[in-house]
Amino acid sequence: MGSMPAQPRSAPASTTSTAGTAGTAGTAGTAAPASSRREQILREAGRLFAERGFHGVGVDEIGAAVGISGPALYRHFAGKDAMLTELLVGISSRLRDGGLRRAAGAEAAGLPPSATLDALIDGHIDFALDDRDLITLHDRELDRLPREERRQVRQLQRQYVELWVAVVRAAHPALPEDQARAAVHAVFGLLNSTPHLSRRALLPDRDTTAALLRRLARAAFTAAAPPPE
Amino acid sequence: MGSMPAQPRSAPASTTSTAGTAGTAGTAGTAAPASSRREQILREAGRLFAERGFHGVGVDEIGAAVGISGPALYRHFAGKDAMLTELLVGISSRLRDGGLRRAAGAEAAGLPPSATLDALIDGHIDFALDDRDLITLHDRELDRLPREERRQVRQLQRQYVELWVAVVRAAHPALPEDQARAAVHAVFGLLNSTPHLSRRALLPDRDTTAALLRRLARAAFTAAAPPPE
DNA sequence: CAGGCGGGTTAGCGGGCGTTAACCTCGGAA
DNA sequence: TTCCGAGGTTAACGCCCGCTAACCCGCCTG
């Protein structure tokens, strides 16, 4: 825990001692190079926003979470809104791009639509299990964005949804489009449900959970087609 | 069940005006038994909280939504927190009580566990489709409550979840408890997904949506059991 | 060795919001 | 008729919070 991050980290020679808490050393050692201050701030802000809501978190708290205090954040971001914007745009972009990549890959490999759908499901599960905070934010704090940014995020989200809808319809041609769309939203809700019970070890281990979610999601789409009557 | 958009929505409360005029006018005789001012406030507050978040709504706005202005709310509630508390306790209680009632009824009728589970699913779907705002609030603003009230709501929610877990395990004995619990949460996420796309008529009509959700939820539980291997 | 600039610091302003205070006005008992 | 309480009103207070201002320091570059 207390291990020094090795980085020089300007010694806070100044009085105050605010730095104390900083820690949490989240970073989870992603191989990614140099998690800059900026990214560190984004990570902590995302966590706090997910925990207590955008309006429920003050800039001083965000600063404290990374070991600096309050207004220093403005050296990195134009304001609190800008942090949320960057978080939400980033999430939506990653989801959409990842989905497009997987769908294109599956199609190029000549796999059937059902396998493409499975690839989308697996990708979303990875995201939901690995970035719980972001998933939470993503469908909870959208309305706190200024108009133009909100439009941008919504567009990305819509593209992601429509990608799924197209694949679902290819895999289950009997399903009408509006029901396919509703089913996609429902499965998103299903897959995104994990963040809510993240607290307390109520979940099985990651692999078991992932396998469970995969089974549930696939079965849901299969059942979405109207009953054979 | 018309959504009753009515709500006279008083004009911008001109200054000065002698208070007198307002008087009893409001609440035009809704067939419902005396929707008191109190309930009217709760309804509007719930809608606003769901739309913009607890911290994103001011008391003046809530007042304006029911035709009175700001501090008049304090004749009916101890404060803003009290409104959220009453909303969340009410939702959680209704969910739990409705679940207990249906489960007891199904059991008394000698139905098999799978039929009991179906009854729970149908009940939850009705709630999710008819009280979207409340469903949204219920798993989104819990953390804005003061400590003690939050504990109370969480307890109600837990009882509801455990009721489902018991029924699921009776219906699917092969499913381990932790996975059953995770599946229950996942299905809640699935069923509660409808509020998110309520805006814009993206959904099929109510009956179609309800039938679709029912199919998805049942299939999910059936698929939750580990693969036969 | 100078100097600028990246990245910190504290102090403080301005606005918004929850809440309280003081006051008003009815409708319905006593 | 009087009075009182329920349910409004506006004014205002105090706090919190986002953001700006003014200042400071150490590293890297010329």
Model confidence pLDDT, tens digit, residues A25-51: 333 333 333 469 999 999 999 999 999
Q: Are A126 and A104 in the same domain?
A: yes
- Is residue B24 a part of any domain in this protein? no
Q: Are A56 and A139 in the same domain?
A: no
Contacts of B153 (CB under 8 A, 6+ apart): B85, B88, B89, B92, B142, B145
Q: Name the percent of chain B lying above pLDDT 90.
A: 76
Please tell me the predicted confidence (pLDDT) of residue B202. 75
Name the percent of chain A in helix, strand, coil, to the closest 5: 70, 0, 30
Q: Are B42 and B136 in the same domain?
A: no
Query: Which of A193, A208, A222 is nearest residue B186 as measured by Cβ atoms?
Result: A193
What is the per-residue DSSP string for A105-170? HHHHTT--HHHHHHHHHHHHHHHHHH-HHHHHHHTTSGGGS-HHHHHHHHHHHHHHHHHHHHHHHH
Residues within 8 A of A (CB atoms), B 8-67 only: 51-56
Q: Give the residue with greater pLDDT, B216 vs B27.
A: B216
* Chain B residues lying within 8 Å of A195, measured CB to CB: none
- Is residue A43 a part of any domain in this protein? yes
- Is residue A118 a part of any domain in this protein? yes
Please tell me the predicted confidence (pLDDT) of residue A6. 34
Instruction: Examine the pLDDT at B70 and tell me if it is beyond 60.
Output: yes
Q: Are A145 and A193 in the same domain?
A: yes
Please tell me the predicted confidence (pLDDT) of residue A197. 75
CB-CB under 8 Å, A196 with B185: yes
Q: Are A73 and A85 in the same domain?
A: no
Q: Name the percent of chain B lying above pLDDT 70.
A: 82
Domain that holds residue B45: 36-77
pLDDT band of residue B166 (cuts 50, 70, 90) is: very high
Q: Are B111 and B46 in the same domain?
A: no
Q: Phi first, then psi: what are they for B35, rounded to 5°?
A: -70, 90
Give the CA-to-C1' distance from A23 to D27 in angstroms: 25
Count of the separate structural domains present in chain A: 2
Q: Are B87 and B68 in the same domain?
A: no
Q: Is the CB of A146 under 7 A from strand D?
A: no
Check if the beta carbon of residue A226 is closer than 8 Å to that of residue A172: no
Pairwise CA distance, residues B60 & B69, whole Å: 6
Please tell me the predicted confidence (pLDDT) of residue A111. 97
Please tell me the predicted confidence (pLDDT) of residue B196. 78
Pairwise CA distance, residues B136 & A143, whole Å: 14
**Would you say the C-alpha torsion A158, B209, A132, B174 has a positive or negative sign?**
negative
Flag whether residue B198 sits within 8 Å of chain A, measured between CB atoms: no
Please tell me the predicted confidence (pLDDT) of residue B201. 61
Flag whether residue A155 sits within 8 Å of chain B, measured between CB atoms: no
Cα angle at A198 between A192 and A200, to 5 degrees? Answer: 155
Q: Are A192 and A217 in the same domain?
A: yes
Q: Are B176 and B96 in the same domain?
A: yes
- Is residue A3 a part of any domain in this protein? no
Flag whether residue A186 sits within 8 Å of chain B, measured between CB atoms: yes
Instruction: Examine the pLDDT at A14 and tell me if it is beyond 50.
Output: no
Please tell me the predicted confidence (pLDDT) of residue B197. 75
Q: Which two tokens stand for residue B153?
A: 């709501």
Q: Are B56 and B105 in the same domain?
A: no
Please tell me the predicted confidence (pLDDT) of residue B138. 92
pLDDT band of residue B213 (cuts 50, 70, 90) is: very high
Q: Are B73 and B93 in the same domain?
A: no
Instruction: Examine the pLDDT at A169 and tell me if it is beyond 70.
Output: yes
Distance (Å) of CA B25 to CA B10, B20, B29, B71: 10, 11, 10, 20
Q: Are A139 and A40 in the same domain?
A: no
Give the CA-to-C1' distance from A172 to D9 in angstroms: 62
- Is residue B6 a part of any domain in this protein? no
Burial of A207 (0-12, 13-18, 19+ CB in 10 A): exposed
Instruction: Examine the pLDDT at A18 and tell me if it is beyond 90.
Output: no
Here the CATH number for the domain that contains residue A144 is: 1.10.357.10
* Terminal Cα distance for chain A, rounded: 60
Pairwise CA distance, residues B226 & A71, whole Å: 52
Residue range B38-49: mean pLDDT, rounded: 97
Instruction: Examine the pLDDT at A24 and tell me if it is beyond 90.
Output: no
Flag whether residue A136 sits within 8 Å of chain B, measured between CB atoms: no
Instruction: Examine the pLDDT at B26 and tell me if it is beyond 60.
Output: no
- Is residue A28 a part of any domain in this protein? no
Pairwise CA distance, residues B97 & B116, whole Å: 15
Pairwise CA distance, residues B115 & B106, whole Å: 7
